[in-house]
Amino acid sequence: MKKRLSLVLVIGFLLIGVGAFAQADLDQFPAGTTTMRYEVTSDEISEPQILELAVTALEDGRYTIRMTTEQTGDEDELATGFGFIFGAAQISSGAGHDVSYTSLQALMDQRNRLQEGGEYVLSATANFKDVVSVEIAGVWCFEGMIVDADEPDERMTIAVALTYPVYISPRIIAEELRDGEWVRVFALELVEYTVSESEG
């Protein structure tokens, strides 16, 4: 349970710290509406959850952000899976996970300096390593793995967008080591990215 909680803490911050850990500032989004559709899976739900974020840049310099979620499942799945997304928004950084959230934000802010094969320090025991370039739903990204020497049975893959602005990481995969094998316990992946120009 402790392991799952620490994974939830990190994912919660990367997901629904909307604004706190956004990969792009709002002024980086083009005029019109940028829609980002994600698929969320977990070992606790049988069908993927859909998370859609839309950022609309208005002509007067203001923005509209819309978020919708959708999930199909039985009562227990909806209580744990669907509630997970909203519950994550309530977790504060005071919960004590070892990875520095400031370091994660710095990593996102400095994403243009990342290099393939690079390794970057996040804390005294955690690193972002095995960096490769990948394309996710038409968005080019650098993707790497967060490993923490204090949590050897956990690892997390995170992609940071390079070519287009996104509000949430294009890919987050959390894995746990179980009986000598890495098992995916949570994944969020960008599956569609569209930009609709304003009609004005």
Q: Percentage of the chain surpassing pLDDT 70?
A: 73
**Pick from 92-96, 111-115, 176-180: least confident:** 92-96
Region of poorest pLDDT, from 40-44, 118-122, 189-193: 40-44
* Least confident residue range of 1-15, 33-47, 101-115, 131-145: 1-15
What domain range includes position 108? 2-195
Domain membership flag for residue 92: yes
β-strands 171-178, 154-161: how paired? antiparallel
Task: List own/partner pairs for 99-108 with CB under 8 A and 24 or more apart.
Answer: 99/10, 99/123, 99/126, 99/146, 99/148, 100/126, 101/13, 101/21, 104/13, 104/14, 104/21, 105/20, 105/21, 107/160, 108/21, 108/23, 108/160, 108/169
Residue 190 lies in a domain: yes
Inside any domain, residue 200: no
- Is residue 80 situated within a structural domain? yes
Mean predicted confidence (pLDDT) in 116-134: 89
Q: Is residue 55 part of a domain?
A: yes
Q: What pLDDT score was predicted for residue 198?
A: 67
Least confident of 32-46, 71-85, 135-149: 71-85
Domain assignment present for 74: yes
Residue 115 predicted with pLDDT over 80: yes
Question: 98-135 burial, b if ≥16 CB within 10 A, otherwise e?
Answer: ebbbebbbebbeebeebeeeeebebbeebbbbebeeee
Task: Tell whether the model's pLDDT for residue 27 goes beyond 70.
Answer: yes
Q: Look at the chain and report how many structural domains it folds into.
A: 1
Question: In this predicted model, which residue has the larger pLDDT, 183 or 111?
Answer: 183
User: Looking at residues 93-102, what average pLDDT do you find?
Assistant: 41
Query: Could you tell me the pTM of the whole model?
Result: 0.77
